[in-house]
Chain A
């Protein structure tokens, strides 16, 4: 089981906003929307597109390659061409910082 890793100060990610981080040899994207933080693999399950470069609308992120949409809170695929969820990692805010724990 991975440990929580500090990725940024809590005020370093705008609301609404997103930022890409490297955590334990993986690239993840942390979202900050309506005061809530969430974290997904920076990978679209359709064609490996970088979600961190996509357009954030509410709680939805659109892959810049083909427009597949994902729920930033769960990783669920919301629209074609993606049909499978991307991995959603654990996030907590502690000591004014954002912490991420990877799910395998």
Chain B
């Protein structure tokens, strides 16, 4: 049966959805999920600046119909980027996608024997459909806004990691999403760690062309079941023409732990909702954010630390350095439910302004309904201290070397919290090469 809802998009239409569904042999529950999401996509308008969440993020120049649902790949370019996060890393598996289509998927025999599942969405759906059904769109709400609905209706690719109960995966797993000129990425990342499992996943994005337009409209769902431990790294490094819209959520259960590192370097405009739900007693999360912006980039991150159970600990540290006319918006919320006593929540956002016309907005917030909690939040924004530059120049540094050292020093606090050396190296190098000389 076809879709009856009417959309304002000529490209992401009912006919396009019918075509996508017809081309894939997906179970009925997933088809129903897509159709319900499409209804929402049709009902909702693109967000406007009258909404609190979008007040500081202007998407009036974003035109959805400049893009279209991902087509089957006719050819794969020869020289695709390798990504930045895996230099010198012995990987346990790797999944690569290009323009929303999986082009390679590998997992070591050793991990396969342990029952670990890691691969493209389509292949894992075929082999472990019930696990996906129990988790897909249970963290991220497909009906939240037009973008989440668009994603849920039309997503074609993604990576799924499933680690069975008690299995410790020592080698990191790598997911690389690539985009070509004018491309669209609707990737969905799903990570499920059963009770007592442990794993590290490195997830990154890159564009084949640094300036071409593109659109990412994606979702990340991380399920960390009781006593499991997940280290998850997400590097957003799209080219400067890419619109990046994402809903990301981690669900952390009793005595489980997630360490989530975010590097945001690319895209033209990013609007990311990053939530962590601490749903079981004693759950812990540590989120590290590194942002570097230049040109007219605009990165907007809305974070939520949602304490839903007692004795949970959350710690968010976001640092951003900005140059040129770029812009960051960070809006953080610690939400503590009534029953979540003995909560320990911390959030901090530091911004370093490297030029006269860049701008950083920080809006930390607290929403507390329990009466026995410790919640701390704060934000700082400042410029590079000329005296520090002068001091360094007196000792033989050029002005540029001095600024670069100060910027790297600014991020060091966050780098120190990242346990994977290749990630620290990649972020440090990527930022260092972007820092220019200022007067």
Interface of B, secondary structure class, is loop
For the complex, would chain A's binding face be called helix, strand, loop or mixed by DSSP majority?
loop
- Residue of A whose beta carbon sits closest to that of B329: A48
The residue from A26, A47, A104 contacting B55, defined by CB atoms under 8 A apart: A47
Chain B residues within 8 Å of A26, by CB: 61
- Give the distance to chain A from B50, nearest Cβ to Cβ, in Å: 9
- Provide the residues of chain B in CB contact with A22, threshold 8 Å: 60-61
B294 → A minimal CB distance (Å): 13
Q: Interface extent on A, as a size class?
A: under 10
Residues of A within 8 A of B56 (CB): 47-48
- How many chain B residues touch A (CB < 8 A): the figure is 7
Q: Smallest distance from the beta carbon of B417 to chain A beta carbons, Å? A: 31
When chains A and B are docked, how far (Å) is the Cα of A25 from the Cα of B211?
13
B8 interface residue, CB < 8 Å from A?
no
With an 8 A cutoff between CB atoms, is B32 at the interface? no
- Report the bound CA distance from A48 to B60 in whole Å: 13
> Using Cβ atoms and an 8 Å threshold, which residues of chain A touch B58?
27, 43, 48
Please judge, given known A-B contacts A47-B55, A48-B56, whether A25 and B49 are in contact too, CB under 8 Å.
no
A75 within 8 A of B: no
Q: Which chain B residues numbered 48 to 97 have a C-beta less than 8 Å away from chain A?
A: 49, 55-56, 58, 60-61
Q: In the complex, A47 Cα to B54 Cα: how many Å?
A: 12
Contacts A48-B49, A48-B55, A50-B49; A104 near B60 (Cβ below 8 A)? no
User: With A47-B55, A47-B56 known to touch, is A27 a contact of B61 (CB < 8 Å)?
Assistant: yes
The one of A27, A48, A104 that contacts B325, using a Cβ cutoff of 8 Å? A104
Chain A residues positioned under 8 Å from B49 (CB to CB): 48, 50
Alpha-carbon distance A43/B60, docked complex (angstroms)? 12
Question: Residues of B at under 8 Å CB distance from A?
Answer: 49, 55-56, 58, 60-61, 325
**Could you write out 16 A-B pairs with CB less than 8 Å apart?**
A22-B60, A22-B61, A25-B61, A26-B61, A27-B58, A27-B60, A27-B61, A43-B58, A47-B55, A47-B56, A48-B49, A48-B55, A48-B56, A48-B58, A50-B49, A104-B325
Which A-B residue pairs are the 4 nearest by beta carbons? A48-B56, A25-B61, A27-B60, A22-B61
* Residues of A near any B CB (own CB < 8 A): 22, 25-27, 43, 47-48, 50, 104
